[in-house]
């Protein structure tokens, strides 16, 4: 099993390996260790240690394989979910005022809306980006409705794009799907 020593070198049992040529005149391995320099490589090649010896291999042998269509679809769905989350929590404009829509703000707005539904005469002070404002029950409910509509539209858009991703038949079709 390989490990790195305190100098950042590859070490296996009592042998130190280097991932680049070393000037042996300035290198003394610790007592009981042997230094095995890698062979010289050309462009597109790498030196690989295995089975107790170095070998030269094509760099392409170590490049990850192209993802399958199903893997591309899963990656695209994750990308779209992240874009939805960023949009969902990025805020919404309500009559020229920016309303926060992060998870905490959504919760507080929902709580105020519940109280406003219970008591149509309810008012409260609300702190926004521009300072304090007093909100009455109808305004609280309108804000809550605007936030809920906006958040749901983000999820609806994600669902539509997920369906498009599922229906895509080529990598190019998957790649062409965008949030915006």
Domain ranges, ordered by start, for the chain: 3-62, 69-175
- pLDDT tens digits, one per residue of 150-174: 999 999 999 999 999 999 999 999 9
Percent of the chain with pLDDT over 90: 58
Instruction: Give the angle 54-56-58 at the CA atoms, nearest 5°.
Output: 145
Put simply, whether the predicted model's pTM sits higher than 0.75 gets the answer: no
**Contact present, 38 and 17 (Cβ < 8 Å):** yes
The answer, yes or no, to whether residue 1 has pLDDT greater than 70, is no
d(CA 170, CA 175): 9
125-144 pLDDT per residue, tens: 999 878 899 999 999 999 99
Compute CA distances 47 → 1, 52, 103, 123, whole Å: 18, 13, 50, 72
Maximum distance among all alpha carbons in the chain? 88
Question: Given the structure tokens 């979910």, which residue do they identify?
Answer: 81
């Amino acid at each position: 099993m390989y490990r790195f020593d305190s100098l950042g070198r590859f070490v296996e049992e009592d042998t130190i390996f280097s991932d680049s040529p070393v000037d042996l005149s300035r290198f003394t391995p610790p007592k009981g260790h042997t230094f095995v320099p890698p062979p010289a490589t050309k462009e597109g090649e790498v030196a690989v240690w295995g089975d107790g010896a170095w070998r030269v291999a094509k760099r392409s042998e170590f490049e990850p394989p192209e993802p399958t269509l199903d893997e591309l679809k899963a990656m695209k769905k994750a990308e779209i979910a992240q874009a939805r989350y960023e949009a969902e929590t990025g805020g919404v404009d309500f009559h020229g005022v920016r309303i926060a829509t992060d998870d905490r703000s959504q919760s507080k707005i929902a709580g105020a809306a519940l109280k406003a539904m219970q008591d149509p005469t309810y008012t409260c002070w609300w702190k926004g980006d521009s300072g304090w404002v007093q909100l009455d029950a109808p305004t609280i409910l309108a804000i809550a409705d605007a936030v809920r509509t906006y958040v749901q539209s983000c999820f609806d858009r994600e669902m539509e794009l997920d369906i498009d991703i599922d229906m895509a038949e080529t990598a190019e079709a998957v790649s062409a799907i965008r949030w915006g």
